[in-house]
Structure formats: structure tokens, C-alpha cells
Amino acid sequence: MATYQALLTLTILLLLNVPLVTPCNFPAIFNFGDSNSDTGGLSAAFGAAPPPNGETFFRRPVGRYSDGRLVIDFIANSLGLPYLNAYLDSIGTNFSHGANFATAGSTIRRENRTLFQSGYSPFSLDVQTWQFNQFISRSQYVYEKGGIYREILPTQDIFSKALYTFDIGQNDLTSGYFSNLTTMEVIGYMPDLMQRFTNLVKVIYDLGARNFWIHNTGPIGCLPYVLVRVPTVATKKDQIGCGKVFNEVAQLFNAKLKETVGQLRKELPSATLIYVDVYSVKYEMFKNPGKHGFENPLVSCCGHGGKYNYDVNAGCGATIRVNNTDILLGKSCPDPLKKVCWDGIHYTEAANRFIFEQIADGKFSDPPVPLNSACKSL
């Protein structure tokens, strides 16, 4: 009976001229980005993300700026792969199924200011690309030594078969505003961002990458840290309370990114480049929270004080010293599963799960290809 139904379904698909898509069986993932997909890079370089980060799933801080898993974790799990180790993490790492070059605070273009001056990572996308280049050559050299290295490093053929994921750009927009640039000035450097992104994708392509899964940026105007830190621009709200101007800038960035990915398809015909609209998925959680099991989406779960439970000087995990005792000030909320925003900047595990579940089947992708089939020539 099952065989008959499968044949019937196949016949219908052929008659309707629906393309048949089969899974790609990606052997590895190589990820590039910022805190939305950082699985421990910034923590390895500059100190661990403090508790209560990680409390929901891992039960302890594990380098993620969330109470649990990120979208990239759900992507890896869905493809039957382990969670990605950060390239910068030297302890207990296994890169046989890929590596994560993302770090919190990363940008497409260099900030040219230290982390302590700006809050932005020195590991911009070009640096992540250089790290990937080194990773290829050094991993293959060490792999040939044999022994344990053959268990924790990838084989040469993995690089052309792997999935290459990108989630970056949010910090390029916020850094302009936090540097007191006007909206027009932020818009003015978008062409430069796109050119840099184009050049770096081509570098990664030349290093062997063929399968690209590229997220656009989310509605930054719905995040407390932007609403609080740039109040003059945040005064103009949309119907759900998000900063309208910020989101318009994010949407413009996304439109240009979509055009850029389209142009890359023409220039790199051997590659598969999928543009993924995570903006729409994220905005839906803020617009219709109750429909998806969330509440008070503009209010942070972990933080301290104010309308949004966010204070730039006392973030998630912040402590104060009282009578020679450290008291946790930036506490977690009672039920993170009902919250969209974790710490005013990042998303909760529940929100990340929702995002993954919406994008995995391809309905928010251009072309509309499922995640597990993003290796076909289009």
C-alpha cells in the first residue's frame, strides 16, 4: 500500500511539473556571522558569556548569547550533524563536521575600533574568511599526521560538499546609529557593505564552497537595545511598537542583499545560493506573539529595569556588589519559553526554534528550496 501511494504521489508531481528535490546529505557546515550564530567564538577570545546564558537547554553558559540553542544549532541538528564548535575555541573541539567562524559583534566591514571601545568584534567577515582559508590549509596538513587528527579534522572532499551559512549585517546597521550617524548616512554605506560581502563570498567560493544559505537581517527596530540606545530615532513607532525607521533601514539592507545574492548567482553559476528571509519570520513573532505562544515580545527575558527590561549598563548576567557579596542584577524571567527576546539584543531558544521551523522547508527562501536540498544547481 505504501509503495502504491509513493508511486501515486510521484506521478502527480510529474504531471504537475513539480521539480523533485532530494536531500543533499551535507557532511559539514561552515558558518560565518555574528552573535545570531556564534556558538562560542567571542567567549573563547574575550571571556565567557556569563550565566544565566545557556540555562534552558545546556544548563550552563556555552558561549551562546541566548538561554539555549541558536538557529544554527537547529540547522545542524536537522542535518544530522553535531553542534558546531567555534573556530576560536581550542578546548575539546571537533571540526570533522565543520566549524563556526561567527563571533558576537561581528560586522561585514571592519570597525577599526577595539571591542572595548565600540562593543563590536575585531573578527569582521574578512577576518573570518582569512581564518577559513587557514583552516583549510592547516587542517589538511595536520590531518595527514594521522591518529586522533583524522577523527577531529575534515577530509579534503568535505569542503566542496558542505553547506556554507551566513547570518551577518545587523551590527553594520546598528554601529552607524551608535556612532551618531544619521539614517541617510547609514543608508549611504550600504553599497560598500554589499560590495564587501560580494568579494568575500567569491573568496570562499574560490576556496571550494558551492552551497550557500544566506540569511537576511532581522527587524532591528523591535530589539530593546536599539530602542533604548537611539531614542531620538526610536520615537517613530509602527503599529506594534517597533522603531519604524530602524526596520525600514533593515528592509532596505535586505532588498540590496537579495539583489546581491541574485547577481552572485549569475557570476558563480556552479554555486547554489539561497537567500533566506528571516526578517519576515522574526517580525511575525513581534506582530502576532500570542498566535505562536509568546507574550510581551518587546520586553527582554533577561535584564534589568526600564520599559523593556534592558539597561545598557546592567545587561543579562550583570551583578552588583553588596556587603562584599555579588548579587545577580540581570536575572532571567520565570518562563523563557514564552519570550521572544532574551537579553534585549538576542533571541530566546524558543524564538530560534520558531525561526528554524519556518525557514527549514524553503517557504521563506529564494529560490524556495528546503534547507536539506540547498545543494542543487538552480
Closest CA to 257 of 103, 102, 360, 108: 108
Phi and psi for 258 in degrees, rounded to 5? -60, -40
- C-alpha count within 13 angstroms, C-beta hemisphere, residue 301: 28
Whether the CB-CB separation of 253 and 188 falls below 8 Å is answered with no
CA–CA gap between residue 102 and residue 167 (Å, rounded): 9
Q: Which residues of 213-226 are buried (b: 16+ CB within 10 A; e: fewer)?
A: bbbbbbbbbbbbbb
Whether the CB-CB separation of 352 and 346 falls below 8 Å is answered with no
CA–CA gap between residue 208 and residue 104 (Å, rounded): 26
CA–CA gap between residue 334 and residue 157 (Å, rounded): 47
Indicate which residue of 34, 35, 167, 172 is catalytic. 35
Partners of 275 in the beta sheet? 214, 366
Closest CA to 24 of 377, 332, 376, 378: 376
Judging by beta carbons within 10 Å of its beta carbon (0-12, 13-18, 19+), is residue 149 exposed, middle or buried? Answer: middle
Indicate which residue of 34, 167, 238, 343 is catalytic. 343
Closest CA to 198 of 108, 102, 112: 108
Does 89 qualify as catalytic in the annotation? no
Indicate which residue of 37, 332, 346, 365 is catalytic. 346
Does 215 qualify as catalytic in the annotation? no
Question: Running DSSP on this structure, what letter comes out for residue 375?
Answer: T
Does 346 qualify as catalytic in the annotation? yes
Residues noted as catalytic: 35, 343, 346
